[in-house]
Amino acid sequence: GKGGLALGINVIYSFIGGVFSTLCLILFSTPIANFTVTFNAPEYCMLALFGLSMMIAVSTGNVLKGTILGVAGILLSCVGLDPLLAVPRFTFGSVDLLAGISFIPVMIGMFGIGEVLYQMYSRNRAEEAAEMKARKVNLALGRVLPSFKEFKELTIPTLIGAVEGTVIGAIPAAGGDIASIISWGNAKKMSKHPEEYGKGSIEGLAVSSTANNAVIGGAMTTMMTLGIPGDSVTAILIGSLTMYGMQPGLKMFTENADFTAKIMLLMLLANVVFLIFGLVTAKASAKVLNVSQPTVWTAVCLLCVVGSYALNNNFFDVIVMFAAALLGFVCKVYDFPTGPFVLGLLLGNMMEANFRRALVMSHGNLMTFVQRPVSCVLLIATILAFSWPVIKNIIDARKGSARKAG
């Protein structure tokens, strides 16, 4: 019933994240690039493991179920060619599985058609009619801008999310999905109201929106300074720049300094235009929720099928999407959190490949993960992430005992 406010928060904090990361690109592009270029297999392995530790945060109270699905996602990430030996694994002779299972069709299926199937399964016409009536009232009176109190409470979590998103974006192979999940999980741990996360939390939405757009400046930093794509979008940009005779890397800041400056200014301008257009059309966009459920379901299903096929022009991705939709539906029915599964599928291959590379480089010495400073810090952060729920329970128990004693 607060569609206008949800869209308003999304627009405002996406703008803040985008501007923050663009300013970081302008001011700190070379230091950030020099930092990420020191990353090797141990650092990438620990980064993936740290991302996987967010399974606890996104399990929404069902830690055991979330861990089971997370491990299933990691196992599914092993399908395809072995990252070091290029030997087919779990492909069963299928050529389509040689490249592995793409996580985008899986996400489209689980969170798109899977949700549609669940809504159809749990549909109650009387409740639906009452909800549609309530939506019209709420949307008619809904506000788009957060209050000053809400804006003040969101300042620190979103600032942390912006920093996390920028740093993660600067790391090759990372992206908005990883940044949003990690930032959302960390914000939930630090939040005064973690029970609201996953149930319409304004703070969770703001942090995710900030981190998602903050990735752009970090990814552009890695691409423009080192010539290494930070994500799939910057990989396309590298190809585009090459077509025009420009070589991404340090030359972008010397031979093509004017063009590089224009890109940075256009990124700032794009965020400003995005903010204005988003706020102006927020209420109109929210009224799309007044469309009947069957119409929405049909549109979502069509877009999911077209989107899955358009990724690689491969019908196999559509099959994967429908399989993931069935899994997502079953998970919703039996209350299994789907976030850990996507995390495992997304980061499993990255963790495995770099873990094995690190062992090859160190001749099987596991101490390599502790001896390298960045890797050691990430390992400590991972241990703390896994331990935090236990530590928090102990602290809460002691506080409860102290109150009773008082």
Which range has highest mean pLDDT (143-147, 260-264, 346-350, 395-399)?
260-264
Read off the pLDDT of residues 157-211 as tens digits, 9 standing for 90 and up: 888 888 888 887 776 555 666 777 777 777 787 777 777 777 777 888 888 888 8
Distance (Å, rounded) from C-alpha 89 to C-alpha 339? 25
- With cut-offs at 50, 70 and 90, classify the pLDDT of residue 239: low
What is the value of pTM for the model shown?
Answer: 0.63
Distance (Å, rounded) from C-alpha 355 to C-alpha 41? 7
Considering the chain, what percentage of its residues have pLDDT values greater than 90? 6
- With cut-offs at 50, 70 and 90, classify the pLDDT of residue 319: very high
- pLDDT mean over 269-297: 80
Read off the pLDDT of residues 39-71 as tens digits, 9 standing for 90 and up: 788 888 887 787 777 676 666 567 778 888 888
For the beta carbon of residue 243, count every other beta carbon within 10 angstroms.
Answer: 8
Q: Which comes out higher in pLDDT, residue 296 or 125?
A: 296
- pLDDT mean over 290-313: 86
pLDDT at 140: 56
